[in-house]
Structure 1
Amino acid sequence: MPGPLAAVHRFNDAHPWDHNAHYHRLLLDRVPARVGRALDVGCGTGELVRALADRAGEVVGVDADPRVVDLARAATGERPGVSFLVGDAGRELPAGPFDVIACVAVLHHLPFAPTLERLRGRLAPGGTLLVLGVHRSSRFTDHLVDAAAVPANLAVGWARGRRARPESMTAPTAPAAMTLPEIAREAGRVLPGVRLRRHLFWRHSLVWRAPG
């Protein structure tokens, strides 16, 4: 690993913060004030599930890691309308339909297009699919944004100070294989009219509303 990048990783190890949770507000801003059912795929320790519960009558969180699901249940307690399940999003999902489906930092672990098709199939008419993903940088503009993210990442980590690594960051990770153009092409094929945005901190979002 090159020296500068290795230094960034060492800094992040000493000042860890959840880059995915940083974008929860962005996703929630695209959720109507009140919805019926919501699903969080790859829910981790349940932070987004608990936020969605303020707007949805029922929220289901699904994660493949039984230990993490236990942590989510313990952190949530007996909150009405909230449940957590152990499940592999690549093979099984709770029965729909759902008015909102969120999927945060999960798709790069799974077959991209088939998983999007599975999520699309669980949406209610007019429902919203919200994806926060990671991608492989391949273009000059990607590397420019990556470079801009480095000092911003250091600033956020420094402001938060030294702390223990959040439980939400202890799950196994995998490097992203798809580039943004590849994601745009495949997502556009499965979800006509999907909106793709690149964000700082090595993330992008996909937002799609099912036909009503």
Structure 2
Amino acid sequence: MTQSVDPRSFDGFASAYDRFVSLLPGQNTAWLLGLDPRGGRALDAGCGPGHAAAALADRFEEVVGLDLSRPLIEIARARRARPQVRYVVRDLFDLTDEHGFDLVYSHTMLHHLADYRAGLEHLKGLVRPGGTVALVDNVCDRCPTPPRKAYTWPALGNFPREIRRVGLRDAWFQLRFWHSRPWLAHLLSDRYLSRAQFRALYGSVFPGARFDDLGFALAMVWTAPPSGGAGRGLS
């Protein structure tokens, strides 16, 4: 799987993207927080504007939020600063940490990598013995890249419901964002794995992992062995 989009494409619409994510139910953190992760150190790889990193600050002594987009990290530092959180502008493959993390988390970032498997292996190498790897990424069973209407039509159909949920002003912003040229250009340059490909690839790197179907995405959770042996999926 090759990278099909500039990894810094979020730079041009970082503020709008932050507002968009802020309006999503659970800010894309519901599945992660449902695992009730807790511990000493956590990594959010591809943290964007910092929603998950800030939420993890209530459960971990130290959180590292990593992203390649400087504008998104600047937003995270300005709007979601926490004493326990350190936001870093860096490529994932440049991150090394001799102490390791009790939680390694990533949400819809891995499909941007030029070498998907290498990204998974790198994340696996960052988790401490007995720690948890929790990963979410978009999937598409019919084609690597969903068509434009897969995004715009649901946005139109959901508009009345979103008015009731967030109010007219924010619902109108959401609708315009879904139809905005930069966001659609980004989405239409993405290439996703199918569910079968996702399970096969992730399962080969994380044997025994548990998979949860989130509709738009698949999620995987895996516990590293305490010392040697095979890891397992959380039940």
The TM-score bracket by the shorter chain reads: 0.7 to 0.9
1:120 maps to 124
TM-score, structure 1 length as denominator? Answer: 0.76
| 1:144-163 → structure 2 map (5 Å cutoff) | 150=154, 154=158, 157-158=162-163, 159-160=165-166, 161-163=168-170
Q: Does 1:207 align with 2:221?
A: yes
Which residue matches 1:6?
Answer: none
Structure 1 partner of 2:34? 29
Is 1:20–1:104's contact at 8 Å kept on the other side of the alignment?
no
Contact 1:20-1:105 within 8 A present in 2 as well: no
Pick the aligned partner of 1:49 from 37, 40, 53. Answer: 53
Distance in 1 (CA, whole Å) between partners of 2:204 and 2:169 is 43
| Pick aligned residue for 2:68 from 39, 64, 85 | 64
Alignment deviations for residues 27-74 of structure 1 (CA, whole Å, 9 cap, x no partner): 112133x30000001111111111000000000000000111111101
Let me know the Cα RMSD of the aligned residues: 3.1
Q: Is the 8 A contact 2:27 2:51 kept in 1?
A: no
Q: Where do residues 59-208 of structure 1 align in structure 2 (5 Å cutoff)?
A: 59-77=63-81, 79-89=82-92, 91-95=93-97, 96-110=99-113, 111-138=115-142, 150=154, 154=158, 157-158=162-163, 159-160=165-166, 161-163=168-170, 164=173, 172-173=186-187, 174-200=189-215, 202-208=216-222
Contact 1:31 1:128 in 2 (8 A): no
Report which structure shows greater RCO (CA 8 Å, sep ≥6): 1
State the AA in 2 paired with 1:180: R
Asked if structure 2 preserves the Cα contact closer than 8 Å seen for 1:124 and 1:210, the reply is yes
SS of alignment partner, residue 181 of structure 1? helix
Contact residue 138 and residue 192 of structure 2 kept, 8 A: no
Unaligned runs of 5+ in 1: 1-12, 140-145
How many residues of Structure 1 are paired with residues of Structure 2 in the alignment? 185
Give the partner amino acid of 2:87.
F
What is the alpha-carbon distance in structure 1 between the residues aligned to residue 104 and residue 25 of structure 2? 16
- The alpha carbon displacement at 1:176 in A equals 2.9
Paired with 1:162 and 1:129, the residues of 2 have a C-alpha distance of 38
1:102 Cα deviation from its structure 2 partner: 1.0
Deviations 1:129-172 (A, max 9, x none): 11111012239xxxxxx8xx949x7165342244245x9x9884
